[in-house]
Chains A and B, each alone.
Chain A
Amino acid sequence: DTAVSQTPKYLVTQMGNDKSIKCEQNLGHDTMYWYKQDSKKFLKIMFSYNNKELIINETVPNRFSPKSPDKAHLNLHINSLELGDSAVYFCASSHADRTTKSYEQYFGPGTRLTVT
């Protein structure tokens, strides 16, 4: 049983197109995340949702829009794709953080996006 799954695993598209990446978790977690890993392998948070509510929105272009239809799903839609969007995108999930304690996040296998 896959805990955090993403589709597709690979996505090749042309500049200007719109694309979506889907994520699902079966761990019963309340919080889901999207991360971007660039060519230098640096992993950076993009968005975080808790119980379908957006709680973290880092400095990300408006062309990126997350959507959470329910607690188990968090999708990422990207409009007007640019060359610089090429990267690996990871979805993750965790239990909701407490005031003084955070919980580990579990990551999906990643989606490698290539914009040509």
Chain B
Amino acid sequence: EDQVTQSPEALRLQEGESSSLNCSYTVSGLRGLFWYRQDPGKGPEFLFTLYSAGEEKEKERLKATLTKKESFLHITAPKPEDSATYLCAVQASGALIFGKGTTLSVSS
């Protein structure tokens, strides 16, 4: 059965304190791994797509990486506006499967 597990569930950082979010997955025939950001009361906002092990994508303070078993979302020198829930999702043969998310809080 396809599964996605995100850790930690919640993460509190000080402004400027870099860290990483983890997404472990078990799927047969990965056709894409996606990272989304969700702010309270809003829909998920697309961040990155990764297709194969070794691939990396960057956007501002965020960098996503992919191995055969997991993906990391690295946050460098975060700011309070980076506070949100970050969702990982994978697609294999069927529908997109989401993890339960990591809620990031960045304080100044």
* Residues of A participating in the B interface, judged by any CB pair closer than 8 Å: 4, 33, 40-45, 48, 56, 58, 90, 92, 97, 100-110
- How many residues on the B side are at the interface (Cβ–Cβ under 8 A)? 23
**In contact, B98 and A43 (Cβ under 8 angstroms):** yes
Q: Name the one of A33, A40, A110 contacting B100, with C-beta atoms under 8 angstroms.
A: A40
CB atoms of B98 and A102 under 8 A apart: no
Total A-B pairs in contact (CB under 8 Å)?
A: 54
What separation, in Å, do the CA atoms of A116 and B44 have in the docked complex?
27
The 3 closest A-B CB pairs, nearest first, are: A107-B43, A102-B32, A102-B91
A104 B49 Cβ-Cβ under 8 A = yes
Q: B54 to nearest A CB, angstroms?
A: 16
Q: Does B42 contact A (CB under 8 A)?
A: yes
Verify A44–B98 contact, CB threshold 8 A. Answer: yes
**What would 23 A/B residue contacts be, using CB atoms closer than 8 Å?**
A41-B85, A41-B100, A41-B101, A42-B98, A43-B98, A48-B95, A56-B94, A56-B95, A58-B95, A90-B44, A92-B43, A97-B91, A100-B31, A101-B32, A102-B31, A102-B91, A103-B32, A103-B49, A107-B36, A107-B45, A107-B46, A109-B43, A110-B42
